[in-house]
Amino acid sequence: MLIGYARVSTHEQHLHLQIDALKEAGCDLIFTDKISGTTGKREGLDEALNAVSKGDVLVVWKLDRLARSLRHLVDIIEHLRANKADLSVITTGGVMDTTTPSGKLIFGVFALIAEFERDIISERTKAGLVAARERGRYGGRPSNINDVDKLNEMLQAYEYYRANGMIATVEKYQRTRQTIREWFKNLKQVGSIERIERSLYK
């Protein structure tokens, strides 16, 4: 089954163009959202992903209608793979279509880039922690602050929060809002979020 997904950013915009393209592509079901791409919760997308099963293809008009970020795109592709489903992007003319060898290669590269990004963040997190300790900034919660893996998770949560908002962060990390806020507070105790960010991206 071909399952379509369409999204526009505001209620003033129209879905007609995307829906027509999805129908022309042969989609049996079409789910829609009228919401900003940076918003974490998208009911239409969630329904589309829940609808896919073995042998189905999720079809979108353009890639930016689907994912908020590269990491989000990889998460969606992994969800589809787990359900033995595929993804097809109409405007790429088959280039981004996981039912084809070339499409699988493209999305495989995306997955490698996302993994590389996570590894870089992990390495620089450790470097940032060492730098913070050298400055005498140990923070107030040793059980959290001195655990590099925990700090890495906290920093990744903060980066995800910046890109996707609190609701999406709570859902992804399966923590309460209070816990997520406590994580960010602990990051400030290490040497401030702003200073850690500079160590991550310099």
Which CATH number does the domain housing residue 60 bear? Answer: 3.40.50.1390
Q: Is the pLDDT of residue 45 over 50?
A: yes
Same-domain pairing of 67 and 120: no
Same-domain pairing of 16 and 61: yes
Tell which of 64, 99, 134 closes a domain: 99
Same-domain pairing of 84 and 120: no
Domain count, the chain: 2
CB 170 within 8 A of CB 91: no
Q: How far apart are CA 99 and CA 94, in angstroms?
A: 9
* H or E element, residue 46: helix 43-51
Same-domain pairing of 88 and 163: no
What average pLDDT is seen over the chain?
76
Domain hosting 140: range is: 111-201
Residue 61 placed within a domain: yes
Based on the residue annotation, tell me whether 143 is a catalytic residue of this protein: no
Residue 104 placed within a domain: no
Q: How far apart are CA 179 and CA 161, in angstroms?
A: 13
Which residue in the block uniquely carries the two structure tokens 């033995």? Answer: 84
Q: Could you tell me the two tokens for 169? A: 């962060």
Using one digit for the tens of pLDDT, what is the confidence trace for 52-99?
A: 999 999 999 998 888 877 777 878 888 888 888 999 999 887 778 888
Using one digit for the tens of pLDDT, what is the confidence trace for 113-158?
A: 766 666 666 666 666 666 656 655 544 444 444 556 677 778 778 8
The pTM is what?
0.58
Collapsed DSSP state (helix, strand, coil) of residue 123: helix
CB 38 within 8 A of CB 164: yes
Mark residue 54 as left, alpha or beta (left: phi above 0; alpha: psi -120 to 50; beta: remaining): beta
Catalytic annotation, pick one of 9, 69, 122, 199: 9
Q: How far apart are CA 92 and CA 102, in angstroms?
A: 12
Cα distances (angstroms) measured from residue 126 to each of 47, 196, 198:
38, 10, 13
